[in-house]
Amino acid sequence: MQIDAYVRHLFRHGAQALELQSDQVARFCFETGERLTTNRVDHKQLVSMLQECMTTEQIQSLKQYGKVSFAHDAEGAAVEVVVETDRPDKWRIRLSPKAGDGAAPAGGPRPPMLEPPMPRVPQVRGSIAPPPVNTAPGEPRINVFLREMVRLGASDLHLATGVEPMLRLSGAMTTLEKHGKLSGEQLRALLVEILPARNRAQFDETWDTDFAHPIPGVARFRANYFMDSNGPGAVFRQIPFELVPVERLGLPPKVLDLCWLTKGLVLVTGPTGSGKSTTLATLIDYVNQNRADHIITIEDPIEFVHPNKRCLVNQREVGVHTKSFKAALRAALREDPDIVLVGEMRDLETIAIAVETAETGHLVFGTLHTTSATSTIDRIIDQFPPEQQAQIRTMLSESLRGVIAQVLCKKKGGGRVAAYEILVTTPAVSNLIREGKTYQIASLLQTGRALGMQTMNDHLLQHVKNGLVDPKEAYMKSNDKQSFKELLSKAGVKLD
């Protein structure tokens, strides 16, 4: 049974209890507090697990009274299981050893984790007053905020002069109340502690800089420092050490066919904070597990770290290992790559080299800040002078293999879920690109489902029908709102 794996973890770590909740990370409970894991439990997975080990009567009792408890034996390890629910999409489970079967006594073994057990995290409702978190001896003071960020499951930490620290939690800004407002001097002292010398010189000269900051055993963080009218500020984006499995991304299975190509250009696009880096990292990891090739990544800064699996992976950071994206991309052609990841296609020359690289027998993955497949193609072509646009249309029609455009939507009950628009390049798509008729690609997206294509509106509607996303949230994320209203109306869904 699925639940047996959790029971084994409970006893292996010597915890007093293990708590699981729909779409939340699992928690180990100890006498001294709690420790969050990095494993988020999907609601459907939780329901499936309980259905395996509960009787029909127990399930009915849970629906009627909102709580049920029962004993479970997992290969001789007996536990008490308490299940609670106050709404259909929120179930909570607490596993605890039965008397005499138990977890470690006080002072007994603890799980082999790098961080100490942490106290209970309060519910988040617009602002939060977390208990204090201590850093390890000699650790930078800013790691207090970063550890709290990871513990609460936030995507970003915002620090600004004269403002209380804030987190982006499930897409919404949330204040960390107990830390108080930071003066310019206090914030500057915190930020300088982890600022590399190269970035310090850059910040002094240009007033902004980017770099990566790791906390071993916790996460990596992409940092951006800047100056505004009040003083220094910074934003930290959490980059988990664990890559998201491809099954959890929700991409159509045929998209994975793009990972088996030997040449061509595959683009992942979307606004800032839409999860492009996560999607790209997952696709690169899929290649790393299934092919025996040479992968070169060019990033600013390096975000997800890829260990060598079946592939040899070289990761280069702009400003540290190379002067620019275009310089690294030109050099990559002499480094015998099979796959090249370009973290950001920022300028005309980088785009031109990436398209040329894709044409000359390499598979190139890249990102752009565009919101749809059609606008992605138009953006690339519009980067070039008018006299070169016919040539780049021809080159792009022959090299482009697919576009994955994505947005992140707030999920009901917390968390976020991605919605995707998928364009797979067919001969018909290539002809439209070559002839400058990209406005007609939208109709091919609607008729290409058998090839793995889908429109953004179709995926947003699917999330609404599945109860994952509120209709208003999906409407706000749609690029074609009038068409989406019509889809909702045909599906019998009311938009408030």
Q: Are 185 and 202 found together in one domain?
A: yes
Q: Are 221 and 252 found together in one domain?
A: no
Distance separating alpha carbons of residues 496 and 491, to the nearest angstrom: 15
pLDDT tens column, 51-95: 888 887 787 778 777 788 888 887 677 888 999 887 777 888 998
In a domain, residue 335? The reply is yes
Reference 47, options 91, 1, 95; nearest CA is: 91
Q: Are 338 and 411 found together in one domain?
A: yes
Q: Are 253 and 235 found together in one domain?
A: no
At 250 the pLDDT is: 81
In a domain, residue 88? The reply is yes
Q: Are 214 and 278 found together in one domain?
A: no
Using CA of residue 431, residue 433, residue 436, residue 440, what is the dihedral sign? positive
In a domain, residue 151? The reply is yes
Quickly count: other Cβ atoms within 10 Å of residue 357's Cβ. 23
At 295 the pLDDT is: 97
pLDDT tens column, 96-106: 887 654 444 33
Q: Are 143 and 224 found together in one domain?
A: yes
Which CATH number do you get for residue 273? 3.40.50.300
Reference 94, options 155, 26, 32; nearest CA is: 26
Distance separating alpha carbons of residues 419 and 345, to the nearest angstrom: 22
Q: Which domain holds residue 260?
A: 246-454
Q: Are 232 and 309 found together in one domain?
A: no
In a domain, residue 390? The reply is yes
At 171 the pLDDT is: 83
In a domain, residue 483? The reply is no
Q: Are 282 and 203 found together in one domain?
A: no
In a domain, residue 112? The reply is no
The backbone torsions φ and ψ at residue 254, rounded to the nearest 5 degrees and listed phi first, read: -70, -15
At 194 the pLDDT is: 95
The backbone torsions φ and ψ at residue 364, rounded to the nearest 5 degrees and listed phi first, read: -115, 125
Q: Are 208 and 287 found together in one domain?
A: no
DSSP secondary structure, 440-459, as one string: GHHHHHHH-GGGT-B-HHHH
Final residue in a domain of this structure, among 210, 239, 268: 239
At 115 the pLDDT is: 32
Which is it for strands 363-368 and 264-269: parallel, antiparallel or unpaired?
parallel
The structural domain count of the chain equals: 3
Distance separating alpha carbons of residues 400 and 355, to the nearest angstrom: 8
Q: Are 348 and 210 found together in one domain?
A: no
Tokens found for residue 401? 């293999």
In a domain, residue 490? The reply is no
Task: Tell me what percent of the chain is helix, strand and coil, each rounded to the nearest 5.
Answer: 35, 30, 35
In a domain, residue 109? The reply is no
Q: Are 418 and 314 found together in one domain?
A: yes
Q: Are 233 and 277 found together in one domain?
A: no
Which CATH number do you get for residue 161? 3.30.450.90
Using CA of residue 480, residue 481, residue 484, residue 490, what is the dihedral sign? negative
Q: Which residues does the chain have with pLDDT short of 50? A: 101-126, 128-132
At 84 the pLDDT is: 87
